[in-house]
Structure 1
């Protein structure tokens, strides 16, 4: 999709693999400078090295979305090295397997989820979005413009048996995003949501279940996020805020809006 992004600066959390890496690659291929962040320095450096070998403008920054000092240090590096930011993509998250490794075959009721497991997932998937946006939005307010994309999931996931706390974390993402959009509307900062539109072939799905899910339901390639994230980073999406875009339905969404 032809939306040139030369001169745009984007930062993506949870970008060492899966959806985050796919979006980073798409943005860099469109000409953007892309800062990939994640907790694991090793995985991050490997991912960035692959992009750099293709002469893409990609950079690594270790950052923990649960740690305010880690986030603040990243904000200052972005300010110092790139002078600001045009797009923030909140994507870092952990899945159900952190509280129940067998969540697909043996879903467990919410009352069997440990308090520690619940807090850890919410701290990453929901509070992390809040902390990162709260810190980076300062750059957008200084510039008088900016774009934020929060990655979320299907509404069915928010109601699925055995999906506490992942479902609540993403329901919270939707509400948080809509309120952010209203809070920032007059500041010329747009906030939108993007979701794949189905189960996606990422590390959140245990390897032992991937083939079964593929056979029964199919698995989306993370590259499904490429066209919509490039669109959301581009001038074509200027003024668009509070939208919830399903990546697998993106061409039809565009057609209906004649964008």
Structure 2
């Protein structure tokens, strides 16, 4: 499988790119810095790194075209690039802001990255997938509680929007030979988006590696007909057993 992972230089993106590459997939991972993306990719078997700003349509088109050419096609897109609450409120866990206190430019930056970015990359990749009649798209999401939690504007709305977008993409692409699914960790993760000194007592953060088994499975032959599913990584084994037992 030839896979494009956006936001693949760290956190969940790197964990998924690493798991896929280790499992034998040919991976292109992206980051805003092409140099950093190439450096990170050099540490993974057979991977390549590409510079990509998901907010910029011309950057998206250039990066997707480069990935398509260098990989010889893209069988799966993992839409993952995103920014968190720290960009608008570094103390969001301990001193949450009301939505009326959020700077408008900060709100736009998060929406443009987490929602518009998903749209732009998926649009560019889907047009190419439609031409060959097949492909898979996995949009990374978050818990519903994160989407409506007090003090979580604009991150919550950006993720709620990307989840709605995923459902629409799945509906639009039904019977087109391209599957669309969502994957989320199932809890807070050790990615740096939540400052270490702001983690509530008793809350155990998940390791990014929790995303490995489900993303590798979604790239496998077993997942060829899986469409419009919302898979929680921490519950993946249970979800897969239920799915297999229901066949």
Which of 128, 131, 134 is matched with 2:117 structurally?
A: 128
Where does residue 27 of structure 2 map in the other structure? 34
Where does residue 3 of structure 2 map in the other structure? 10
Where does residue 138 of structure 2 map in the other structure? 149
Structural RMSD (CA): 1.2
How far 1:42 moved relative to its partner? 4.2
TM-score, scaled relative to structure 1: 0.92
Which whole-Å deviations, capped at 9, do the CAs of 1:71-125 have from their partners, x for residues lacking one?
1111221232222110000000000011111000000100000111100000000
Q: 2:35·2:51 contact (CA, 8 Å) conserved in 1? A: no
Where does residue 249 of structure 1 map in the other structure? 235
Q: Does 1:21 align with 2:14?
A: yes
Unaligned segments of structure 2, at least 5 residues: none
Q: 2:188·2:205 contact (CA, 8 Å) conserved in 1? A: yes
> C-alpha separation between the residues in 2 aligned to 1:78 and 1:102?
37
* Number of corresponding residues: 245
Which whole-Å deviations, capped at 9, do the CAs of 1:126-172 have from their partners, x for residues lacking one?
00000000011122101100000000000000111100000011111
Where does residue 216 of structure 2 map in the other structure? 230
> C-alpha separation between the residues in 1 aligned to 2:207 and 2:46?
23
Unaligned segments of structure 1, at least 5 residues: 1-7
> C-alpha separation between the residues in 2 aligned to 1:60 and 1:45?
4
TM-score, scaled relative to structure 2: 0.96
Q: 2:170·2:228 contact (CA, 8 Å) conserved in 1? A: yes
Which of 69, 72, 75 is matched with 1:80 structurally?
A: 69
How far 1:196 moved relative to its partner? 0.2
Which of 35, 43, 46 is matched with 2:36 structurally?
A: 43
Change beyond 3 A, Cα 1:40–1:79: closer
Which of 46, 54, 57 is matched with 1:65 structurally?
A: 54
